[in-house]
A and B are shown apart, each in its own frame.
Chain A
Amino acid sequence: MLIVACGSDDDMGPGDPDPDPDPDPNESVEITDETTELQGNMHGTLRSGRTYQLVGDLTVLPDREIVMEEGVRIESTAGGEDGGEAFSFIIRGSFYSLGTEDNPNWITTVPENRTHENWNQGYIGGFIGLVGAQDIVIKWTHMEYFGGRMRGTSSVYDEGETIYGFYTEDESTRLIIEDSWFRYFLDDAIRPEGGKIAILRNTFEGIGGVEGEALNAKSGTVGVFAYNMMIGIATNGPKTGSGGGLPTQSIIDVYNNTIVGGGFRRVAPGRGGSMNVENGAGGYWYNNAVINCRYGMRVVNDTDYSRTFIGHTHYYGHGIFDDNEGPLSDNFYPENGTIGDDFPNDHIVNDNLNNEDPLFVNYQADGFDQEDYRNVHVNSSVEPFNLNFIGDQDFRLQAGSPLVGAGDAEAFMPNATITEIGPRALSFPVPPPSVDIGAFPTSGFADGIGNRHLVHDYYPN
């Protein structure tokens, strides 16, 4: 390899151009009507009704943006379990996916690859929001087969590692994901290591291969995680901590979420299986439903107790845990010590009411048997289907559900750090908590309260 020496002055530092000329790192290509393939540095608008192929890493440079109108499809065929590395969206500017309830957007693989068997192929890397990234906004968008493997090294990934669905690292980045679907992600779906976040009314299904969480937030991250429906997550649904070296404390309010069948795909014991707060983080954890998960809420004793408040969690566990280790419900508060003995008593209110069947509209809570997860445990598959995906199940509340009216809508004001976004004047009201526990309260839809995903007919074969 040829190594060119620097000039003769006393200057130092990296400077010389690459002998193999790379494309100008500051040039960006505008997306036009002719554009069908996405790669390199691009900006502009992806037109409604069109399908684009992701054929290389797509980078949005600082002060540039890409907008997906409603009804746009982005597909990729890279990745694959043995094929190696996938392409990612590298965001140093802004990215907006503006799907609608009637005409959602899709980021997935091509139709012929889009099968249930290919759940672990990782055709797409993820959104990598680097230092300086401004907005990443995703509305009404289906996202599938994320978590492909990293090409080369970057600030956060070693070569060959699985890529998080959404990664951010700048405290000023705004990450807003609303009413969207996450399916077949091989690692953490959302991994903010800094940023202002609003993760509202989404559905997470079959997330994480052998590890991975719906939300895994680190230091420098503030915001809300509410009205999300999670089923079949490898480890936790939401997990927050404040490690990683950014100055702002991670304070995230996690409320009115429903977590079903979490934590069984993570082999290691004692790792968490529903909700977790640790390492200097804090926030309100209210009105959440934890149903047939491997563990209950875990508060590690390095959490900021003084800023952590837990209330009105509804736990339900049926059957026996891990080869006769005792009833599954013993893994929930107050039986199990996953909430430290020294956690202040007045910071935990009305938790775990009698292990009652939540009485969802269509879910057989007492039909749960951990033996059914044996296959998951041994092979890390997303089978059986009903334990990892919603399918024809319905997690709205029956009239007599013990979750109705059992929450607290007054205890706190959500940590609403984002109200509206700049030039597009997109408004993002943060919905208040609901008195009904879980993601599907019985009222308030008009005010953005409650998950709006009611029909689940989008699964591949």
Chain B
Amino acid sequence: MYHLYFCINQNLMEIMNSFKPCITLIFCLLSPVLLLASDIRGMISDKNSGEPLIGVVVQVEALEKSAISGLDGSYVIRDIAPGDYQLRVSYLGYQTKTINFAMAQGGGGVNRDIGLEVEDKVLGEIVVTSRAILNTEYSARASERIAPNVINVVSSQNIELSPDVTVANVIQRVSGISLERNHTGDGQFAIMRGMDKRYNYSLVNGVKIPSPDNNNRYLPLDIFPADLLDRLEVTKSLTPDMEADAIGGVVDMKLRDAPEDPMLNINVGTGFNTMFFDRDFVSFDRSNVDRKSPKMRNGEDYRATVEDFPLESVQHERESSIPFYQVYGLSAGQRFGQRQRLGVVAAFSHQNTARGSESDFFHFSTDRETNLPVLDNALTATRSTSQTRTGVHLKADYRLNTDNTLSFYTSYMNLQERETRTMVDTALQLARSGPGTGRIEQWVRTRQRISNIFTNNLQGEHKFGRNFGLDWSAVYSEATYDDPDMAEFMTISERRKNEDGSFRQTDWVYDNTNHRGFFRRWLGNSDRDIAGYLNLEYRPELFGQEVLFKVGGMYRNKERENYFDRYRLGTSPTFQVYEGNVLDNTFNVVINGSPNNVLNYELTEDVLGVYAMGRFRLFERLQVLTGLRYENTEMSWVSNAPPSVEGRIGSIEYDELLPHLHLKFELNERQNIRASYFESMSRQGYFEVIPYNFYEEDQFREAGNPNLRHAYARNVDLRYEFFPGRLDQFMVGAFWKEIQNPIETAVVRREDLSNRLFLTPQNFGTASNLGFEVDLVKYFNRFGVRGNYTFTNSEITSSKIVQFRDEEGSLASRIEDQTRPLQGQSRHLGNLSLLYKNQRTGTDAQLAMVYTGRRIAYISAFKDNDQWQRAFTQLDFSLDQRIIPGLVAYIKVNNILNTPFELEIPASNEKAAAAEPHLQPDEHRVLSRSDLFHRTVLVGVRYSIF
């Protein structure tokens, strides 16, 4: 403990020192702005809501001087000669206001804040609803301030202006969140406060939806187009009315609501990735790819023939022209009928993009005597991926009367990815008689992935009298994933040295061996969730305050199906040369499907949650929210594996009782101190409990773990918040988590399996995670700065292998404990965005930087051999320019620095540099991977009518 304390202290000092300039800047920003002589300045806001008004025209008529209020509602008119003046303030939809002021001789200046009142043109009865515009930056700040627990909100206003086109990329701008990227460099999963994706969940409109992921529960966030969002809410401390299976946090994607006034948004754009200036995009013909495998089409007993596997879809085709993106978005909403009771909003988004990656990496092993990394193979891989992302969203709400509202929403998300990959694998050890010689393997792959999420939600909100409220949701959702006919074949060649010292390369020939042949594989899964939620509220007046009691529950039934059908082709006759076109070769079927593979399984899960909570004030300034949640989980599965496979049928049941306490101390209107304690958990992945068993010659075997337990956590949060201006914000927070039975996939010796090492999902004792966050938003007229910094320090101890030579001269190994951060946890995370907004010219610009500190990407079985992702900084830019009112042109540039994704092992290069010294020049680290994704440029126009 002392040691830990010391570490943190040291780190704090380090950080404090390195961030000194930043801290100075923060204090400067917060200090009151000095008044300058002969200027008039102030803030303009909505008198009722307090929301700052942007773009308000402020004129000193006598002088013909004017200004427009900025992002924060501030205005300034400079150089006003001494005298008495009238200031005229006008804004569409608001009553124009005229104010008198006097500019004194000899300085001082004038400060005037102005509140505007809504121009009330609507006659007769106005239906009073809880209308709140929630998609603005102001309301985002307000939500954060008002919420009883620790949350962060990103508004659609902010999303629209940001460089981000998918939800995943938006979320990285929130403090404490970093991204795990997919193979094209696009963000896919959120790592929250150093907690891996498995410890977080995602919601759509407050409701959990199934994931199309083949193995796990977490949602890939790159399936959601950002322009469907109304706002994004990130919850870092759970309340009892939320599902309990998050330890890092919860992402809630709030989709657009029906507006009060008719609304139409159109977005059309195009773009490109600069990678394809330098090389061709490689595509394939997927017209004859069958979504179903031969056995899925014809029954389990069917013997597939080579005709069932068309070769046309395997052949790579080079595109000579640069593939351009197509981006379309359309959303429209209106209220209809008597008293505008029916509101409808529909949105459609379609994105066609072409991306890729260029990777250099190594296969390596661990030296048996020194435990240092050794390079076995050097590989290069080139990918071309085209993605089609389609989202449709429809929401209708019907206000029966002031007390009862029904709403229905349905959304459909579809992501199709088509990918070609060529990988060249050069052996650095085998069949090598000196530099430049040896065996080369070439892997050629074509693949499609199709993910769908379809969700339907019927909701009702009802009030009974003054004090009672009830809301409910009935949800039906489906998620599917299909990866049909992934085809990959391998050919092999050898480089030999000629007598004269030059090299020659032998023909590429097929190698039809067990793990290296020509595979055609179908896999996929489908989830169906039916869920119901019910919440009851009672808000009596007690002890002179409104007290909230809330009870409720939810139940969800999930049915999941996974399929896996794999075939292998062999060349017939065996010896065939590959000359670049697979259609020139002839094949037969060697492995005829895998209907009894353990990965063909059905799984059901029932989750029941109930809770009770209360919110009240203990003293005038102390708000207390406390409660209990109970969750019961039953999961069971049946796999098609033969009866001899243990665990092919199984079930797990557990329940947890989870206490919550959230305190909010309101220092004053603009400052809060929060403290919260809650307990939460994280469930096993579906795939993890299936008793799968993967074997590859000379590698660690992989096995599922039907005995895996769920993880459980105690969480403590502290936060200080200061809202100096209406849009401005300063927050400092700290958190501490203790996770029991954290789940990681690592190599362990399985005593039940003859003491062999297996790569297997496993619970690892107790882990701790603590850190602090600083969040800052500050606007000054046309400029704004948004930034955050998170420090995280987690610790987990797991056993690792140390290899050595024993006293008898034998190669041996022992097990030692190693303490390290959780996988995916960066010690330092930072975000800094510079904003510019000019109302007069209609210009918005944003330069956004994300810094992700080094973190463990892959856990090794061997001590000191974990692969770390190097720290990296990504820079994105966006610019919006108004052309005519309502029409905006934009440009978004992503990954300006072409930041590489790099992995390394922080260990001596002594052994790794032996084969090819120039590949590993650094004595203290071994580079294991480097990927480049290049820059993406997107240009387009947006047209809006309100």
Count of chain A to chain B residue pairs whose CB atoms are closer than 8 Å in the complex: 230
User: Are the C-beta atoms of B604 and A269 separated by less than 8 Å?
Assistant: no
For A111, list chain B residues within 8 Å (CB).
Answer: none
User: Are the C-beta atoms of B594 and A304 separated by less than 8 Å?
Assistant: no
User: Are the C-beta atoms of A156 and B368 separated by less than 8 Å?
Assistant: no
User: Are the C-beta atoms of B492 and A6 separated by less than 8 Å?
Assistant: no
Knowing A84-B592, A159-B596, the reply to whether A16 touches B642 (Cβ < 8 A) is: no
Knowing A159-B594, A160-B592, A244-B701, the reply to whether A304 touches B638 (Cβ < 8 A) is: no
User: Are the C-beta atoms of B698 and A152 separated by less than 8 Å?
Assistant: no
B108–chain A nearest beta-carbon distance, Å: 73
Q: Considering the complex, give the chain B residue whose CB is closest to the CB of A132.
A: B754
User: Are the C-beta atoms of B654 and A12 separated by less than 8 Å?
Assistant: yes
User: Are the C-beta atoms of A159 and B591 separated by less than 8 Å?
Assistant: yes
Q: Once bound together, how far apart are the Cα atoms of A9 and B568, in whole Å?
A: 45
CB of B303 within 8 Å of the partner chain: yes
For B510, list chain A residues within 8 Å (CB).
Answer: 267
Within 8 A of B (CB), among A160-174: 160-162, 169-172
* Contact flags B313-337 to A (C-beta < 8 A → 1, else 0): 0000000000000000000000000
User: Are the C-beta atoms of B695 and A6 separated by less than 8 Å?
Assistant: no
Within 8 A of B (CB), among A1-34: 1, 3-16, 18, 22, 25
User: Are the C-beta atoms of A380 and B574 separated by less than 8 Å?
Assistant: yes
Segment of A67-75, A100-108, A245-253 engaged in the interface with chain B:
A245-253
Knowing A155-B695, A161-B591, the reply to whether A5 touches B433 (Cβ < 8 A) is: no
CB of A413 within 8 Å of the partner chain: no
Select A131's contact among B376, B430, B753, beta carbons within 8 Å.
Answer: B753
Q: Once bound together, how far apart are the Cα atoms of A322 and B902, in whole Å?
A: 41
CB of A336 within 8 Å of the partner chain: yes
For A304, list chain B residues within 8 Å (CB).
Answer: 368, 811
For A5, list chain B residues within 8 Å (CB).
Answer: 634, 636, 651, 653
Q: Once bound together, how far apart are the Cα atoms of A412 and B707, in whole Å?
A: 48
Q: Considering the complex, give the chain B residue whose CB is closest to the CB of A6.
A: B651
The interface on chain B, measured as residues whose beta carbon lies within 8 A of the other chain's beta carbons, has a size of 88
CB of B57 within 8 Å of the partner chain: no
CB of A371 within 8 Å of the partner chain: no
* Contact flags B218-234 to A (C-beta < 8 A → 1, else 0): 00000000000000000
CB of B432 within 8 Å of the partner chain: yes
Q: Once bound together, how far apart are the Cα atoms of A246 and B438, in whole Å?
A: 29
CB of A314 within 8 Å of the partner chain: no
* Contact flags B363-402 to A (C-beta < 8 A → 1, else 0): 0010010000010100000000000000000000000000
CB of B439 within 8 Å of the partner chain: yes
Q: Once bound together, how far apart are the Cα atoms of A156 and B693, in whole Å?
A: 7
Q: Once bound together, how far apart are the Cα atoms of A90 and B506, in whole Å?
A: 42
* Contact flags B695-715 to A (C-beta < 8 A → 1, else 0): 101111100001101000000
For B700, list chain A residues within 8 Å (CB).
Answer: 244-245
Knowing A243-B698, A247-B813, A249-B810, the reply to whether A152 touches B642 (Cβ < 8 A) is: yes
CB of A126 within 8 Å of the partner chain: no
CB of A442 within 8 Å of the partner chain: no
Segment of B30-38, B237-245, B511-519, B768-776 engaged in the interface with chain A:
B511-519
* Contact flags B634-661 to A (C-beta < 8 A → 1, else 0): 1011100111111111111111000000
Knowing A161-B514, A249-B812, the reply to whether A4 touches B651 (Cβ < 8 A) is: yes
For A149, list chain B residues within 8 Å (CB).
Answer: 591
Q: Considering the complex, give the chain B residue whose CB is closest to the CB of A272.
A: B431
For B634, list chain A residues within 8 Å (CB).
Answer: 5-6
**Which residue numbers of B lie inside 8 Å of A, CB to CB?**
303, 365, 368, 374, 376, 427, 429-434, 437-439, 492-494, 496, 506, 509-514, 566, 568, 570, 573-575, 590-598, 602-604, 634, 636-638, 641-655, 691, 693, 695, 697-701, 706-707, 709, 747, 749, 753-758, 805, 809-813
Closest A-B pairs by Cβ, 6 of them = A337-B433, A270-B431, A14-B650, A245-B757, A243-B698, A160-B591
Starting from the known contacts A16-B651, A246-B757, A271-B431, 6 additional A-B residue pairs (CB-CB under 8 Å) come to: A3-B637, A132-B754, A243-B697, A267-B574, A337-B433, A338-B433
23 contacts between A and B (CB under 8 A): A4-B636, A9-B653, A12-B653, A13-B650, A13-B652, A13-B706, A14-B707, A16-B636, A22-B643, A152-B596, A153-B645, A159-B594, A160-B594, A172-B754, A210-B512, A244-B699, A245-B758, A246-B754, A271-B431, A280-B811, A325-B496, A337-B432, A379-B573
